[in-house]
Amino acid sequence: MQEALKHLKRFIVDRTGGTAVAFALSLPVLALAVGGGFDLSNAMNHRQKIANALEIACVQSAIEINYQIANGAQQSMDFGPGTVNPMAVRRVRDAGIPSGVTVRSVTTFPAIRITADSSSPAAFAQIGGLTSLPVKVQRECQYALPEQLPPTGQTLFVESFEQAHNVAPNSWTVLGSNGNQTSGASWNGWQTRNAGIEINGQPQLSGGTIRFGNFFAELDSHCYVSGCNSNSAMSRTLTLQPGNYQIGYWYISRIKNSSASWRGVVACSAKDTDAAVAPYRAWEQETNRIEVFVERRGDYTFAATNMVDVCVYSDQWIQRRVNFQVQTADEYRISWRAAGKQDTVGGLIDYLQLCKDNCS
């Protein structure tokens, strides 16, 4: 915009006509550069509205499918066209989203997958020949018969990065930063290490969608002091009694591989050597790597033997569930940590949970 104003000023004061010609030639490029940002922002907002509608439709469809199965329907049938599609279309319409959203879905017990294709009108991009920007959204959830549902567990903590900060939407900051101090710092009940927790509200970094609310976190965080490690960790310490526990969180890669062979890849598992992870570790020096640890008091070392989950790549938000057992009552530290290449861009996480038995 400042560049455009400079050209305009020269056009006003120049009487030779040369500047007017230059300005006229550059104006379409300037308009496309400035206006393209507005078109992209509108497309992101359109995508988020559709995503929210599909989220509700997925949950409501699961309830309806359970009802149908309980009244004699075969659980193996595809409920998508007859049940999920109308539900999703209705939710899109009720959300006030303009027409032009195509919904399709498929159900394979016990999962529901809804996909929506749409487009966002392009005002400024028409200069470059684009009349609209394509928008695609996919949501997945599960359904099960009531007797197949796991027992309700006790939630011990939840972190969705929506509170205890004043970060504005479409912005970011780093909290719990301790630079290169060895003692660590804290934020919202979390003990932090290295650069801290980067709270981010920019949906374009996570494929155009924020999984919950308006914010997520990145742990390969921006460093505010020289010499700090950008790969950071966040930990909660609790006294746990013997029993079964579950960790839940959502993950997506910030840096994505454009190759068709990487489309839909979910490279997450309990160990680096697992087939789901091992083939994808070499790309970009694991810049998207996120590790999860469960450590008993006296062994707060981030040792590989205490790692219970690792994700190195996913081009969509995916939900991770990690089960573990506590044999001895003691203090335990639950941690999420960025690893791999330190370049201040990496894996993104949201909606962290620790639950006794099962997370809802």
Question: Each residue of 187-200: pLDDT tens digit?
Answer: 999 999 999 999 99
What are the extents of the domains in the chain?
A: 2-143, 154-356
Question: How far, in Å, are 187, 230, 245, 340 from residue 226 at the CA level?
Answer: 21, 10, 39, 20
Q: Which helix (H) or strand (E) holds 281?
A: none
Distance, CA of 321 to CA of 309 (rounded, Å): 9
Which pLDDT value is given to residue 151? 66
Which pLDDT value is given to residue 9? 46
- Contact residues for 80 (Cβ-Cβ < 8 A; gap 6+): 104, 105, 106, 107, 112, 113, 114
DSSP 127: G
Place of tokens 């950071």: 232
Distance, CA of 193 to CA of 337 (rounded, Å): 9
Cβ atoms 40, 117 nearer than 8 A: no
Tell me which fold the domain 154-356 belongs to: Jelly Rolls (2.60.120)
Residues in the chain with pLDDT values less than 70: 1-36, 99, 124-129, 144-151, 179-183
Cβ atoms 242, 328 nearer than 8 A: yes
Which pLDDT value is given to residue 239? 97
Cβ atoms 355, 155 nearer than 8 A: yes
User: How crowded is residue 38: how many other Cβ atoms within 10 Å of its Cβ?
Assistant: 13
**pTM across the whole model:** 0.65
Which pLDDT value is given to residue 224? 86
Q: Which of 187, 271, 270, 166 shows the shortest CA–CA distance to 234?
A: 187
Cβ atoms 161, 250 nearer than 8 A: no
